[in-house]
Amino acid sequence: LGANFNFFPKPRSKRFLSIMAIKFASLLIIFFFTAVSDSQFTDESGLPKFTFSWSDDKNKFKSGEIAVIMIKVVGNFENQGNASLSQSAFRPTLSVNGKIGNSWYISGVSLDLGADVSTWKISFTPIIVGIFNVVIDDENFKVLDSSLHFEVLPGLMYPSVCAVTWMGLANVFEAGMNVSILILPKDAFGNNISFSGSEMEFQGFSLSLLNENGSIASNLNITHIRWIESGYINIDFVPVTAGKFLLLVEKESQTLNGGPLPLQVNSGPLDVSNCVSIWKSELNTWQIFSKMEMLLHQKDRFGNLVSGFYEFDADVVEKETGLSIPVADFRFKYVEPGIQSMSFTLSEPGNFLLTLSDMEHNKSISGMPYEYTVYIGYCDGSRSIVNGSGINASVAGESLGFSIYLKDAYGYPSSILVNRLQVRIMLETDSSSILPTIQPRESLNGTGSNYRTATPLYKRHGRRALGSLVTQASTFDVTYTPKRSGIYQIL
């Protein structure tokens, strides 16, 4: 046939060769990225991959708030009968600061791994304030993620966890002093709380004094409240009632931790103008030569009894004349803490003013001056006197008389209503009587011996005399005229 065949291709041009090289390089790049992409879904053993992120990108929480970590599954679980690599086998653990699950740092760890993997999440409650790293681990699926961290801030103030104590640790004070307590504010988990600038944090505190038996003694007014640099809340108040108490500190009806605090309040300095006298007798009239006695309560400006035995001075002034009356037997005596007695003898009748004061007479006690009256005592028949010629012998038909001087047990004149005095003059033989005339005397000065004659109370034959009558008297003149001879009895 003689024909020659050439089976070798014809040489290509340089431009063609360049194009072919570029296409080959592109195929290599596509193959490389495809392999990388497939490795994200499935590693060499065919396991799915997992990514973790904070829900709504929120990684800052308050103590007690719920934190949520979202789980994203990249790839597919083993569905060929290997239960250890199935969807239900994924049970990751959560560690914070090396502590797995519930710990000092977090609580309430919960896995939400339902059938729908798109909703998988891990939730927990942060407790302690600080910045922490989270480690999520699952051995079966070779998961070890430490990319997440979160910050915890203090929660709201929780009164029963807040600690209360005395400033300076002293718990004995004087009535009227400014007293301070310190409150360390904490949230429900015991984290210290810093001042946020809101005045609402200061509201709701209340202070009460309790008796030692637990009953309420009084409610206290807060005089000042502030947040100090050391992180404490400082509350000031002023106790005014003396005694031993318990200080109850509350907020929102919750008692603060550490309370109630023992408290002793001592009385303040003596305030003379606030001292009071309590008389043993409620009457302000006294019988002469009796002893006047009262109890003097020593008090501070708040009305608390002040212990000790303080000196007081006493002055007695006659009301009508304004003259000072000397008293020789003023006596002050200690009775019990804060109370002393004062007594003296009433030696003169009349109306008087008593004033108790300090020794310098600058201040008098409350309720002064005290007005009182001293009266002559009740008539004592054994001390009274009947005197005159008409009590011994007489002549029939002649007017005779005698005088009656009424005295009390101390020998002082004792006045009575004039119509109370009765005089009977009787003849022993037949008991016939003579009606006397009784004439009271009226004192010129009430206590002296000068008298003037008053209108007779009765005249002969029992007729009452006309004119102005004296209602009381201690001395009486009696006149009578016997008509028959014989022995008479004067009763």
Q: Confidence class of residue 442 from pLDDT cuts 50, 70 and 90?
A: low
Please tell me the chain's helix, strand, coil percentages from 3-state DSSP, rounded to the nearest 5.
15, 40, 45
The pLDDT of residue 30 is above 90 = no
Of the candidates 206, 231, 266, which is a domain's last residue?
A: 266
Q: Confidence class of residue 441 from pLDDT cuts 50, 70 and 90?
A: confident
Distance from C-alpha of 144 to C-alpha of 35, rounded to nearest angstrom = 23
Query: Cβ distance 313 to 358 under 8 Å?
Result: yes
What domain count does the chain have?
A: 4
In this prediction, residues 8-29 reach a mean pLDDT of: 47
390 bridge partner residues: none
Residue 95 maps to a domain = yes
User: Distances in Å between the alpha carbon of 291 and those of 456, 478, 485?
Assistant: 38, 36, 52
Q: What is the pLDDT of residue 246?
A: 94
Of the candidates 266, 287, 322, which is a domain's last residue?
A: 266
Domain containing 283 equals 272-375
When mean pLDDT is compared across 66-75, 180-189, 412-421, 465-474, the lowest value belongs to 465-474
Residue 412 maps to a domain = yes
Q: What is the pLDDT of residue 448?
A: 36
In angstroms, the first-to-last Cα distance of the chain is 206
Tens of pLDDT, residue by residue over 52-71, are: 999 999 999 999 999 999 99
Query: CA torsion angle for 225, 230, 231, 234 (degrees, to 10)?
Result: -20
Residue 101 maps to a domain = yes
Q: Note whether 315 and 369 are same-domain residues.
A: yes
For residues 427 and 235, the model is more confident at 235
In this prediction, residues 375-380 reach a mean pLDDT of: 79
| pTM check: above 0.85 | no
Query: CA torsion angle for 101, 103, 106, 110 (degrees, to 10)?
Result: 30
The pLDDT of residue 454 is above 90 = no
Residue 240 maps to a domain = yes
Q: Confidence class of residue 19 from pLDDT cuts 50, 70 and 90?
A: very low
Query: Cβ distance 134 to 143 under 8 Å?
Result: no
Q: Note whether 134 and 184 are same-domain residues.
A: no
Query: Cβ distance 414 to 380 under 8 Å?
Result: yes
Q: Note whether 107 and 167 are same-domain residues.
A: no
Structure tokens at 123: 């939730």
For residues 80 and 420, the model is more confident at 420
When mean pLDDT is compared across 115-124, 174-183, 419-428, the lowest value belongs to 419-428
Q: Note whether 69 and 163 are same-domain residues.
A: no
For residues 416 and 126, the model is more confident at 126
Q: What is the pLDDT of residue 2?
A: 38
Tens of pLDDT, residue by residue over 294-317, are: 999 999 999 999 999 999 999 999
Give kind and range of the element (H or E) at residue 220.
strand 216-220
Query: Cβ distance 209 to 251 under 8 Å?
Result: no
Q: What is the pLDDT of residue 67?
A: 96
Interacting residues of 79 by C-beta distance below 8 A, sequence separation 6+: 86
Query: How high does pLDDT run on average in the chain?
Result: 81
Tens of pLDDT, residue by residue over 73-127, are: 887 776 665 656 677 788 899 999 889 999 999 999 999 988 888 889 999 999 9
Distance from C-alpha of 166 to C-alpha of 168, rounded to nearest angstrom = 6
Greatest mean pLDDT among 3-12, 88-97, 292-301, 356-365 lies in 292-301
Interacting residues of 200 by C-beta distance below 8 A, sequence separation 6+: none
Residue 391 maps to a domain = yes
